[in-house]
Amino acid sequence: MPPPYSHIKVPQRCCDLPRDPFFSRRLDSPHQRKIHWGFGFLTTWWVVREEDFRSRIGEDGHYFDLIDFSAIEGFNVPPTMTILRFKEKLTEKFGTPLQCQRLWWWARRQNNTYRVDRPLTTEEENLPVLNTNSLPTWSNMDDALVFLKHYDPGKAQLRYVGLLSVKVASRPSEILPKLRSLAGFCLSETIELYEEIKFEPSVWCEAIDIHNTFSAGEIITGDIICFQKILKPPDIPKYPSVASFLQHVCDQKTYEEVRKVHILEEEIVTLKHQADTYLVQKEKAVTAYDQLKHERDNAVQQVNELRDQSTHIILDFSRKDMEQATEHFKNAREIGDTEYGHTYKGMIHNMKVLIKLSSSQKLFQQEVSALVYEWLPNGNLEDRIICTNNSAPLSWYNRTQIIGEICCALLFLHSNKSTALVHGDLRPCNILIDANYRSKICNFGMSNLFLQLGTFPPNLTARLPYMDPEFNTTEELTTLSDVYSLGVIILRLLTGMPPLTLSEKVAEALGSDSLHLLIDKSAGDWPYIEAKQLALIGLSCTGMTRKKRPDLLNEVWIVIEPLTRKPPAATWPYLQSASGDSSVPAAFICPISMEIMKDPQVASDGFTYEAEAIRSPMTNLALPNLNLVPNRVLRSFIHGYLQQQQPNPAYQQQLSET
């Protein structure tokens, strides 16, 4: 319903139906829309042509009154402009000549409807817009301008057919021939007339006595007369009269409004439930993070204590040891040559190791204590993605686990109490894979040597797709720089494609609903919902600016962590346990007892054993103490695996023990 403003209408003289008449509405104070313009304001008038009545009545369920002014174009008019000048503007807009235009005021009635009230005289058209607020009451009470609607009961259709000037002293029966002509009725067709009065809060459509005068029936200018032919049994449709049809429309409108309210209420309940679920997940993630952080702090404290107590835990090797291990750095022992230096495979104290010989004295001084690494037989993640030496591709489950491990490692680094630690060069080639397809990040902190101001980083082509775009302008690495690199790695593991412009390709695939075409088929049947979640979070991490990248704990980890919980039925390397079972994942077997671990613990040598095993066979050195860190992630996987083996009574017993 339009707001309570007065209106004006612009057709030709009411006694002669125009070819292209207009109607318009002017906003009056206190709700007047004003726009600063020169020394005054602009007043908004709405203009509607009679053809709009014909096209809009019956459209989108609109049957009441004549027009919905909210759907009509408005004109901003300076208060000093005359009405005559405004008519010229209408000529420019609609092409209707001045002689075919006449302005009419509209007014709001007590029943909250808007109807034509009075025309403007030729003299009044010379007044400025500002002076139209105090026009006198129209003195001509002999004529009335009424609007006509025809109702077809058979089609349940109500349409506008025209307007008509009548003498108030005449009778409605005198206009019946005109109505028959407008509706296409035959001359003998009997007609009944109704006055459309109001429709809110309920429909009021009153029958008109055609033998009384218009004046006696209180028909005045602006009233709407609906007419229809009189029906005879048995042809009585569902809505036989205008009143019944309008009541149906009103009920339908109320039903639709109630239905929309109901839908909105359901959406509110759903959103509230989603918000509550998110809060619960966030609380769980924060709790898990606090627990991991507490365990990390304890582990760091234990390592520091061990470093102070014994020099055997952090092993120092002499140059002679490393030369013997590599046969004096023989070329046959070399397995890699990168910007960080040459890498060799060797044996020290019966333990396979990887030895890195730095090509830079400065680099050597920075990382001299980490020069000898644990040997990881599956190489780096880059080799696994591109299947170097025809190696088997990583399964989708292993890829998901690796993503979770990288994310967890970054959380560990970024949560440093004093200053967050940034890797700065996170790439697949700096992520190593062990025999159980567990990942470990290496070359931490090396980027500080290559990304100094005024230097040109080596191997820039390989680094560039993983580098934070803002580094080019700020020359500063932050934790969100690692988040960017993580996003590229996620997308690479998901698609197996090269990193350059990968985020654009994934974004395009998501937009066209063709992500399934990009997913790496060699990873197996990747669950599409999980794959899409990884694509979305990976794409979010690769935002061009740091402000657009998600928080690693509250937005990234909360998505990735649930994906790493439940292992599939068969994705681990298997070996035979001491009990003879040949289907046990190798990671679940204690290296000492060769049995499935009940309480896996990380010892001070970095390996995981059953809690009761207190000697390390991997280094063949006695542990200095029994300070162990629970490996809860592995324990959760073992528990899930044993649940899958429930039909086996032996596993049932072991499950109850864990």
CB atoms < 10 A from the CB of 240, how many? 17
CATH 1.10.510.10: does it fit domain 376-564? yes
The mean pLDDT of 104-109, rounded to a whole number, is 78
- What pLDDT, on a 0 to 100 scale, did the predictor assign at position 137? 76
- pLDDT at residue 635 is higher than 70: yes
**pLDDT above 90 coverage of the chain, percent:** 23
pLDDT in tens, 50-89: 777 777 776 766 777 777 777 777 788 888 888 888 888 8
C-alpha distances out from residue 320 to 325, 326, 361, Å:
9, 10, 19
How far is 482 from 477, CA to CA, in rounded Å? Answer: 8
pLDDT in tens, 151-182: 988 888 888 888 899 999 999 999 999 999 99
- pLDDT at residue 582 is higher than 50: no
Q: Which of 223, 425, 482, 520 is labelled catalytic?
A: 425
How far is 348 from 371, CA to CA, in rounded Å? Answer: 13
What residue has token string 């010229």? 88
Nearest Cα neighbor of 240 from 180, 154, 142 is 154
**Would you place residue 551 in the very low, low, confident or very high pLDDT band (cuts 50, 70, 90)?**
very high
**Would you place residue 313 in the very low, low, confident or very high pLDDT band (cuts 50, 70, 90)?**
very low
260 or 200, which is more confident: 260
How far is 168 from 216, CA to CA, in rounded Å? Answer: 8
Q: Residues 6 or more apart from 54 whose CB is under 8 A from it?
A: 159, 160
- What pLDDT, on a 0 to 100 scale, did the predictor assign at position 579? 42
Q: Residues 6 or more apart from 560 whose CB is under 8 A from it?
A: 403, 404, 407, 534, 537
How far is 435 from 458, CA to CA, in rounded Å? Answer: 30
Extents of the domains making up the chain: 6-15+42-244, 376-564, 586-647
Residue type, 252: Q
**Would you place residue 605 in the very low, low, confident or very high pLDDT band (cuts 50, 70, 90)?**
low
209 is a catalytic site residue: no
- pLDDT at residue 617 is higher than 60: no
> What is the domain class of 6-15+42-244 according to CATH?
alpha beta
How far is 151 from 385, CA to CA, in rounded Å? Answer: 73
CATH 1.10.287.110: does it fit domain 586-647? no
pLDDT in tens, 455-469: 555 667 788 899 999
411 or 642, which is more confident: 411
pLDDT in tens, 212-230: 999 998 898 889 999 998 8
Helix or strand run (H / E) with residue 496: none
How far is 183 from 175, CA to CA, in rounded Å? Answer: 13
**Would you place residue 240 in the very low, low, confident or very high pLDDT band (cuts 50, 70, 90)?**
confident
